[in-house]
Amino acid sequence: MGVAPSEGPRPKRLAFNTVAVGPDRCIFCKIASRESPSDIVYEDDNYIGFLDISPFSRGHTLVCPKKHGETIWDMEEGDIAELFRVASKLSKAIVSAVGADGFRFVQNNGEAANQVVAHVHVHVIPVKMEDKGRYRDRMKFTTAEQKETARVIREQLRLG
């Protein structure tokens, strides 16, 4: 077992996150409770989907349970299945909304796996053929562009 830089011995955990916080300070919990703004494209009683603020492509959406849990290991198997069912449903609307040719699901657990926010989430990242085989840098869209993208995704969900 290694040692986190200048922190002493790591806590006994399966997936290490220096950014771990409780639900009262978690940005995704705050988005789900409407304490923090976001471009929400989907919501039901247990899950929420919203645009990533620093996306890899137009329409890059995060899908997460409203109930706080740091990694997928904090979820029941049925809830994991439902998370991916919601992500799958959203992927169809996202691909259609942005004119993509495919999509990626990315689900990171722990800091070593590049999990930045310690709340379970699935990235739905639409991709176009011209991006085949490449990973793009994070992008920045204007507030108006993000709001329009969210609107079109919501519209596709209604049609879908």
Which of 60, 68, 119, 121 is labelled catalytic?
121
Domain that holds residue 28: 15-159
8 belongs to a structural domain: no
1 belongs to a structural domain: no
Task: Give the CATH number for residue 59.
Answer: 3.30.428.10
∠ CA 29-15-52, nearest 5°, is: 40
pLDDT at position 3 is: 45
Could you report the average pLDDT of every consecutive run of 10 residues in the chain (160 residues)? Answer: 50 67 92 97 98 97 97 96 98 98 96 94 96 83 97 94
pLDDT at position 115 is: 94
Q: Domain tally for the chain?
A: 1
pLDDT at position 20 is: 80
49 belongs to a structural domain: yes
106 belongs to a structural domain: yes
pLDDT at position 12 is: 52
Q: What is the pTM of this model?
A: 0.87
123 is catalytic: no
pLDDT at position 2 is: 47
Are 64 and 91 in contact by the 8 Å Cβ rule? The answer is no
9 belongs to a structural domain: no
How many angstroms separate the CA atoms of 83 and 86, rounded? 5
Phi/psi at 135 (5° precision): -105, 130
Torsion 36-106-59-96 (CA) sign: negative
How many angstroms separate the CA atoms of 37 and 58, rounded? 19
142 belongs to a structural domain: yes
44 belongs to a structural domain: yes
7 belongs to a structural domain: no
